[in-house]
Amino acid sequence: MNIFKTTLRIVRAHLAAFLVYLALPVFMTAMFVGFSPAQGLDAYQNSEVVFAVFDRDQSVVSQGLIACLENGNNRVDLPDDRDSIRDSLFYMQTAYVLDIPAGFGARLLDPAGEPPVLGRQTAPDTMAPSALDGRIRRFVTFVERFRDLEPDAAPGTIVDKALQAAGTTGTVILESPPDSAMQNLPQPFRFLAYTMLNLSLLIIAQTVLSFRQRQIQERNFVSATPPVTINRRLLFSVLFVCFAAFFFNVLPVALLTGRTMLQASGLLLLLNTFCFALVSVSLGFLASAMFRQDSNLSSALQTILPLIMCFFSGIFVPLQFIPESVRRIASFMPTYWYNHSIIAMEESVALSPELTRLFMRNGAIQLSFAAVFFAAYFVLEFDRQKRRKIVAAYHS
C-alpha cells in the first residue's frame, strides 16, 4: 500500500502535465464530434459549402443569385475587411467569399453590354469552391437564357424562372448508407496514441526513476520486505495507475460519442486502444530500464519519443502526405499499426469482415511489439538485478 501511495504522490507532483494529457482527448473529441456532419445519414445530401457574400449591387439578380447559393449551403456573415477575409479563408472557416459588384445585375440583363464579372476568393486545399462555382454558373446561364428567350420579361420574372430551373436536381442514390459511428468515432481515437504514450512514460519512468534513487534503494535494501516483493508491488502499482489513467483518457471519448461507442465499430476501436495501451505500458517499462538513473535523459525521452512516433505514423499529419521512405520507417513503430486501423475504419463505409480482420491483424502486430518491449525490459532488469546482488554481497 505504501508503494501505491508513493506512486500516487509521484503522479501528483506532475499533476499539471498529467491533467494536460487527460484534457487533450476531451478537447479533441468535443471538436470532432461537434464539427462532424449530422449522424444517421440515410439519404444522400450534398456537402454544405460555407460561404460569405458582399452584395454591393443590391439588385433583384444579385439577390436571386444569393438565394440560389443559400439553397443547401451555409452562408455566414464576415466583416468586410481584408484581414478578416484572409484569415477566414486561410484557416478554412469559410470556403468561398463572393463579392457582387455594383452593376452586376444590369450587366447580366444586358445582352449587348459588357460581360458580367464577379469577385471571389476561395480557401486553399479544398474542393468546396468548385461546387459553388458550378452553382453560380448554372444560375447565371439560366438568367442569360431566359433573358434571351423572353426579352420583354421583367428582371424579377427572369430571376424567378432562373431560380426554378437552377433548382432542378437529378437523382442521387446513396448505395449502402455509411455507418455514422465509423464517420465520427475514429478521429478522437487517433490522438489517444499520443496521450497514452505520454502518460505511460510519465507515470512509469518517473515512478521507477524515483525508486531507483540511491537513498531510496539503500532504504529498501535494509527494509524487512524482500526486494522481489517491493519490485512486484511497484510493478502492480504502476500498472494500476497507468490503466486508470488510460481509462480516464478513453472515458470522455466514450461519453461524448454516446451510444455509437457501443456499436461494433466502437468496440473494435476500444480493442485497438487496449492493444495500444499494452504497447504504451511496455514501452514505458523499457524506457525506465534503459535510462536507469538519468532523469534528464528520461524527461527528454518522454517528450521526444511520443512526438517522433506520432509524427512519423501520421497521427498529427494525414498519412498520405508523409513521404514513402518515412512511412516505411514508421511501419517499425506500433503507433503506425494503431493508426493504420483507425484510417482503415475512416475510409470504410460500413463494417465488413475484411475490416474486422485488419483490426485483428494490426492488434496482433501491436501485441507483438508489446511482447518484444516487455521481453527487452525483463532482460535488462534481470541483468541489473544480478549485478545489484553481486554489489550487495560485496558490501555485506
Partner 1 sequence: MFLHVVKYRLLAIIRDRQGMFWMLLFPILLTSMMSVVMMNLINEDMSISPARAAIVKNAAWNSSAPLQDVIATLNADEESLFVFSPVETAAEAEQMLASGDVHGYFIPDAENGLTLHVIRTGFPQTILSEFMSSYTSQARLISDMFRTDPLKALALAADGIQASRLTFEPIDPAQNVSNPWGAMFFTLIAMMALYNALQSATESTAVDPTVYSVGIRQRTMPQHHISIVLSSFAAVAVMGLLNMAVYLLYGQFLLGLDFGLTAYPLYAAAIAISGVFAGIAMGFLISALVPGKRNRHSAVIATSMVMVFLAGMMVLQMRQIVRENAPFLKYLNPADMITDAYYGLLYYGDTARAARNIVMLLVFTAVCLLLTYTRIRRTRYEHL
Name which of 36 and 217 has its Cβ closer to partner 1.
Answer: 36
Shortest gap between Cβ of 396 and partner 1 (angstroms)? 36
Interatomic CA distance for residues 78 and 52, integer angstroms: 6
Q: Which residues contact residue 217 at a Cβ distance below 8 angstroms, ignoring those fewer than 6 apart? A: 211
Based on the shown chain and the rule CB under 8 A, indicate whether residue 193 belongs to the binding site for partner 1.
no
Identify the three-state secondary structure at position 175. coil
Q: Please, which of residues 336-365 interact with partner 1 by CB under 8 A?
A: 347, 349
Among 304, 371, 375, 390, binds partner 1 (CB under 8 A): 304
The least CB distance from residue 382 to partner 1, in Å, is: 31
CA distance 27 to 19: 12
Q: How many residues bind partner 1 (CB under 8 A)?
A: 83
Instruction: Determine the Cα–Cα distance for residues 41 and 115; give it in Å rounded to an integer.
Output: 42
Q: Does 135 bind partner 1 (CB under 8 A)?
A: yes
- Residue 79 lies near partner 1 (rule: CB under 8 A): no
Q: Pick the stretch among 114-122, 211-219, 236-244, 246-254 that binds partner 1 (CB under 8 A).
A: 114-122
Segment lying near partner 1 (by CB under 8 A), choices 13-21, 224-232, 333-341, 357-365: 13-21
- Judged by CB under 8 A, the residue of 11, 53, 68, 89 near partner 1 is 89
Q: Identify the residue among 83, 112, 228, 332 touching partner 1 (CB under 8 A).
A: 83
Of the candidates 304, 302, 322, 324, the one whose C-alpha atom is nearest the C-alpha of residue 314 is 322
The interface region with partner 1, picked from 45-53, 225-233, 238-246, 278-286 by CB under 8 A, is 45-53
Compute the least distance from the CB of residue 278 to partner 1, in Å.
26
Contact mark string toward partner 1, 261..300, x via CB under 8 A:
-----------------------------------x---x
Give the nearest distance from C-beta 343 to partner 1 in angstroms: 13
DSSP 260: G
Quick check: 307 binds partner 1 (CB under 8 A)?
yes
DSSP string, 332-369: TSHHHHHHHHHHHHHH-SS--HHHHHHHHHHHHHHHHH
Judged by CB under 8 A, which stretch of 16-24, 229-237, 280-288, 337-345 contacts partner 1? 16-24
In the numeric block, the cell 505504501 is attached to 2
Q: Is 17 in the site for partner 1 (CB under 8 A)?
A: yes
42 binds partner 1 (CB under 8 A): no
Map residue 125 onto helix, strand or coil.
coil
Stretch that binds partner 1, among 174-182, 237-245, 282-290, 362-370 (CB under 8 A): 174-182
Rounded to the nearest 10°, the torsion over CA 360, 305, 230, 383 is: 90
- Residue 26's nearest CA partner among 265, 249, 190 is 249
In angstroms, what is the minimal distance from the CB of 264 to partner 1? 19
Residue 202 is given by DSSP the state: I
Whose Cβ is closer to partner 1: residue 125's or residue 152's? 125
**Rounded distance between C-alpha atoms, residue 54 and residue 52, angstroms:** 7
Quick check: 219 binds partner 1 (CB under 8 A)? no
d(CA 331, CA 229): 38
What letter represents residue 269's amino acid? Answer: L
Q: Report how far residue 5's alpha carbon sits from residue 207's, in angstroms, rounded to the nearest whole number.
A: 11
> For residues 117 and 136, is the Cβ–Cβ distance under 8 A?
no
For partner 1, which residue of 60, 118, 305, 380 counts as binding (CB under 8 A)? 118
